[in-house]
Structure 1
């Protein structure tokens, strides 16, 4: 099994607003990336467990929402490990856009 890919995204929204934005933004994100399909999404408090499919491969992970940051951890199957750096940068970039506090 490969090591998990971990991204921490700071925010100043507070836990509730960050979670709300993640919930609403997740649907838009999967709709905008045609090769990505969310198979499962389950919240337990401020932690969301998920399973996603891309290129016929399944990745599993979790999103933890804290007062000042969001931590995304995902384990990629060996085929998707080739895209780990791109995946990590994309998660970080889209997460920052989603969690950026608007004036």
Structure 2
């Protein structure tokens, strides 16, 4: 059964700068993780929300990232097996996004 994971990452940047950094990071991730992750798809849904999906070890992950005034809100649907690693997944998201917008 899927589990919803929410991760909040504080920031002090304007929306345009966050979008620029996220778009650049997405290009790098597609290149750096192509062999282990496979295709990463992402699309902006309006000005403040990105929807994305990817597959890791045969498991599909669907999620979104919303740009809020003082934080980024990541919502990720974890497949059943991945739910066991939700703590590590949360930490990884906080570390990577925190480094990107911090």
Judge same fold: TM > 0.5, yes or no.
yes
Larger helix proportion, structure 1 or 2?
2
Aligned residues: 100
User: Aligned equivalents of 1:66 and 1:73: distance in 2?
Assistant: 13
Q: Please, which runs of 5 or more residues in structure 1 have no aligned partner?
A: none
**What is the TM-score of this pair, normalised by structure 1?**
0.85
- Contact kept? 1:36, 1:54, Cα under 8 Å: yes
Alignment partners' CA distance in 2, 1:75 and 1:20: 25
On the 8 A contact 2:5/2:76 being kept in 1, the answer is yes
Tell whether the 8 Å contact from 1:52 to 1:58 is kept in structure 2 after alignment.
yes
Unaligned runs of 5+ in 2: none
When the two chains are superposed, the root-mean-square deviation of aligned CA atoms in Å is 1.6
Q: Give the equivalent residue in structure 2 for 1:43.
A: 44
TM normalised by structure 2 equals 0.86
